[in-house]
Amino acid sequence: MKILLVKPKWFVKGGLYRPLEDIKFTPLNLGILAALSPGHAVTVADGDWDAVPLDEHFDLVGITVSTFTSERAYAMADRFRAKGAKVVMGGPHPSLLPEECLGHADAVVVGEAEYVWGDILAHVPRNSLKKIYKSDRPTEMKDVPLPRRELLNDKGWMACVQATRGCPNKCLYCYLPEVPWHVYRKRDIESVYNEIKAIKQKVVFFVDDNLFADPAYAIALFDRLAPLKKLYSMQTPTTISKNPALVEKMAQAGCFHVQMGFQTSNPDSLKWAGIAHNHIGDYKQTVALLHRYKILVTGFLMMGFDTDNKDIFDRTVKLVKEIELDDANLYILTPYPGTRIHAQFKSEGRLLEGKPRLNFGWANAVFQPKNMTPK
């Protein structure tokens, strides 16, 4: 079969992600599906960097969909289906709202695709696709093949790698607790080492949601990676400050930058959102510890919790300065359709109906906050 795997465009020129417009976060998920499609002619298109071949005929089109790309994905899917292709959608949005996606797709993957992709490839030629494909268990990391990087637009200065999947935290604002891949799993360290050793780029970004849920695993991983002399950026929880030996191992391995979810300057908001692992009083020493090892810190901070008043903006700026962040990504609380918080706001009549899905990218208020206006 002739297969196209697509990630619709994420970044809008001059938008929220303008500092990232020259950084390629390669869609590893599509590279993995390509590796699971031997014997087929596979094309991978990253909408941020590649022209999506909309006028070409394909037998099967797989589209990975987030809430904020869903309208683009639907338009793309309609166009491919009109040309006779079978369209399958997967990713966070179809896993949360499969029935909505089936209005534009022939089939939807709910959860991870590794254990169902072979069925999809077998069913397409027989015209026997099921509406919904869902694995009966989380994917074991030993069953995840290396992504076919030669099909990815992987010519940038940074490469992406995944060592773990899932996260044990249950923060209210996050979609992860409500999708099947929230269960925490780890790859064999030697497998991660060999993959990174074969990557040509000097800089590697770990796409893991929580690489540090098992600190002993993280330490062993960094010990193994240190001889490669690569440079690493990764997402980290604030709790790593409780383990200075871990931070030292990160630095020795080549970690030069972390993205850290401080989430809020308001202790009441930590409680409201169930962010039990964060303690505002620890933030300054956390950043200081990372700086001691010459690791840059990008802080993620959100505004618009029900416990936030209008003073949250000044408080947040004050916190960023006090804890001496190198960089701050400031977000607006975003209730993804299909999540608990979206259902709660809907029941309270607080959703701003009719907002384009592009607005569900953390830079717009798509609901009525309790103690301020959306503006």
217-246 b/e (C-beta count within 10 Å ≥ 16 → b):
bbbebbeebeebebbbbbbbbbbbbebeeb
Q: What is the pLDDT of residue 14?
A: 60
pLDDT digits (tens, 9 = 90+) for 351-363: 999 999 988 888 8
Q: What is the pLDDT of residue 17?
A: 62
Provide the residue type at 265 as one letter. Answer: S
* Contact yes or no for 106/85 (Cβ under 8 A): no
Q: Residue 262's closest CA among 206, 315, 183, 337?
A: 315
pLDDT digits (tens, 9 = 90+) for 256-281: 999 999 999 999 999 999 999 999 99
Backbone angles phi, psi at 42, to 5 degrees: -110, 135
pTM: predicted TM-score of the whole model, two decimal places:
0.94
pLDDT digits (tens, 9 = 90+) for 86-107: 999 999 999 999 999 999 999 9
Provide the percentage of residues in the chain whose pLDDT is more than 70: 97
Q: Tell me the pLDDT of the chain averaged across its residues.
A: 94
DSSP codes joined into one string, 140-209:
PGGG-PPP-GGGS---SSEEEE--EE--S---TT-SGGGSGGGS-EE--HHHHHHHHHH---SEEEE--S
In which band, very low, low, confident or very high, does the pLDDT at 181 lie, cut at 50, 70 and 90?
confident
